[in-house]
């Protein structure tokens, strides 16, 4: 009979191999059984009992493994593989903040980046900060969007994450506080089933400085999570959500598996399951997929 919980350890492949010492420390902390290799030198599962009162928490485990730069996520064995994936776009599926990149090309990047930073850290109201940033684009040529897109890069593991879950019958959605101009392209590139974002108003090749439609804010992200899971015919516990900013907190906290991915401090304070070192492949390992299960092309 399998143990009811599992601790997954993942290291960033670019930084070396998963140290045996880290595995031993983690195994001792959770009173786990022999590790199961998910990817040689990159990820292992440590089956373990359900944590008892006073047992090591994910925070404690992360602290113990901090010198090794190893991510550790504790989940229940049952229902690990999720039927829904909802991902943030900026600084999650792609490496950059697309609105900041637009502003940088136009010469006022620092001003917009500071507003973005404060918003993602939860220091500014999301709706107000987005309107303020968009207003700064008024009168600019929409050609700047193409220039930003040419330099936009996917985060390592993005294709594997989306395509592997899609192959295993999960419904996948990109839900972003950014612009649909970008979500449409990123969704097509990665293979997301659907995408949602804010509609940047463009007239006669010029950005008007307004949004065409309601703002996709933190509450809207949660609503998409609830709607998509209902349409898929599953409960919220069957959903995986991932993101890095304060506007992702509602969907991260309500999903069965909400992962703070290289997240802002406020997000880390509230979301216990975190990936701070590894790439997006970690989301598959956490669900119990082995590297040999990944769709890589």
CATH at residue 163: 3.40.50.1000
pLDDT at site 120: 80
Contact 73, 272 (CB under 8 A): no
Tally the C-alpha atoms within 13 A of residue 209's C-alpha that lie toward its C-beta. 7
Phi-psi category of residue 9: left, alpha or beta, with phi > 0 → left and psi -120 to 50 → alpha: beta
State whether 144 and 262 are in the same domain: yes
**Phi, psi dihedral angles at 187 (to 5 degrees):** -60, -40
Which residues are 11's β-sheet partners? 70
State whether 38 and 157 are in the same domain: no
State whether 2 and 66 are in the same domain: yes
Q: Any idea which residues carry the catalytic annotation?
A: 88, 90
Q: For residue 113, what are the domain limits? A: 81-297
State whether 64 and 88 are in the same domain: no
State whether 89 and 222 are in the same domain: yes
Last residue of a domain, one of 59, 78, 97: 78
State whether 40 and 169 are in the same domain: no
Q: To the nearest 5 percent, what fractions of the chain are helix, strand and coil?
A: 45, 25, 35
Contact 267, 260 (CB under 8 A): yes
Residue-by-residue DSSP string for 226-264: HHHHHHHT--GGGEEEEE-SGGGHHHHHHSSEEEEES--
pLDDT at site 118: 83
State whether 74 and 85 are in the same domain: no
State whether 253 and 215 are in the same domain: yes
Contact 179, 198 (CB under 8 A): yes
State whether 2 and 145 are in the same domain: no
The 10s digit of each residue's pLDDT in 170-215 is 999 999 999 999 999 999 999 999 999 999 999 999 999 999 999 9
Last residue of a domain, one of 78, 95, 126: 78
- Which residue ranges in the chain fall short of pLDDT 70? 1
Which residues are 261's β-sheet partners? 275
Last residue of a domain, one of 78, 97, 116: 78
State whether 178 and 212 are in the same domain: yes
The 10s digit of each residue's pLDDT in 63-75 is 999 999 999 999 9
CA angle 255/95/186 to nearest 5° reads: 75
State whether 130 and 96 are in the same domain: yes
Q: How many domains does the chain have?
A: 2
Instruction: Report helix, strand or coil for 50.
Output: coil
State whether 169 and 271 are in the same domain: yes
Q: Which residues contact 25 (CB under 8 A, 6 or more apart)?
A: 64, 65
Whole-number Å distance between alpha carbons of 33 and 27? 7
Total residue length of the chain? 297
Task: Label each residue of the chain as H, E or C.
Answer: CCCCEEEEEEECHHHCCCCHHHHHHHHHHHCCCCCEEEECCCEEEEEECCCCCCCCCHHHHHHHHHHHCEEEEEEECCCCCCCEEEECCECCCECCCHHHHHHHHHCCHHHHHHHHHHHHCCCCCHHHHHHHHHHCCCCCECHHHHHHHHHCCECCCHHHHHHHHHHCCCEEEEEEEEEHHHHHHHHHHHCCCEEEEECEEEECCEEEEEECCCCCCHHHHHHHHHHHHHHHCCCHHHEEEEECCHHHHHHHHHCCEEEEECCCHHHHHHCCCEECCCCCCHHHHHCCCCHHHCCCC
- CATH number for the domain spanning 31: value is 3.30.70
pLDDT at site 1: 54
């Amino acid at each position: 009979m399998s143990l009811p919980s599992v601790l997954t350890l993942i290291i960033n492949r670019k930084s070396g191999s998963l140290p045996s010492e880290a595995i031993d420390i983690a195994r001792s902390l959770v009173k786990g059984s022999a590790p199961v290799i998910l990817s040689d030198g990159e990820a292992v599962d440590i089956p373990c009992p359900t944590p008892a009162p006073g047992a090591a928490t994910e925070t404690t485990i992360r602290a113990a493994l901090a010198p090794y730069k190893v991510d550790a996520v504790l989940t229940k064995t049952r229902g690990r593989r999720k039927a829904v994936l909802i991902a943030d776009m900026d600084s999650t599926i792609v490496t950059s903040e697309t609105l900041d990149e637009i502003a940088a090309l136009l010469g006022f990047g620092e001003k917009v980046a500071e507003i973005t930073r404060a918003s993602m850290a939860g220091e500014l109201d999301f709706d107000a900060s987005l309107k303020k940033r968009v207003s700064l684009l008024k009168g600019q040529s929409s050609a700047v969007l193409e220039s930003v897109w040419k330099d936009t890069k996917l985060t390592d593991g993005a294709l594997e994450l989306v395509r592997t879950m899609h192959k295993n019958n999960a419904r996948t959605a990109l839900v972003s506080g950014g612009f649909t101009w970008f979500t449409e392209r990123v969704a097509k590139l990665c293979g997301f089933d659907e995408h949602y974002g804010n509609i940047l108003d463009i007239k006669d090749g010029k950005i008007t400085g307004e949004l065409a439609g309601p703002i996709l804010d933190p509450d809207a992200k949660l609503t998409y999570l609830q709607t998509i899971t209902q349409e898929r015919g599953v409960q919220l516990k069957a959903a995986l959500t991932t993101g890095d900013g304060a506007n992702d907190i509602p969907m991260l906290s309500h999903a069965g598996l909400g992962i703070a991915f290289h997240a802002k401090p406020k997000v880390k304070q509230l979301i216990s399951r975190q990936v701070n070192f590894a790439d997006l492949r970690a989301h598959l390992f956490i669900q119990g997929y082995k590297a040999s299960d990944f769709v890589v092309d």
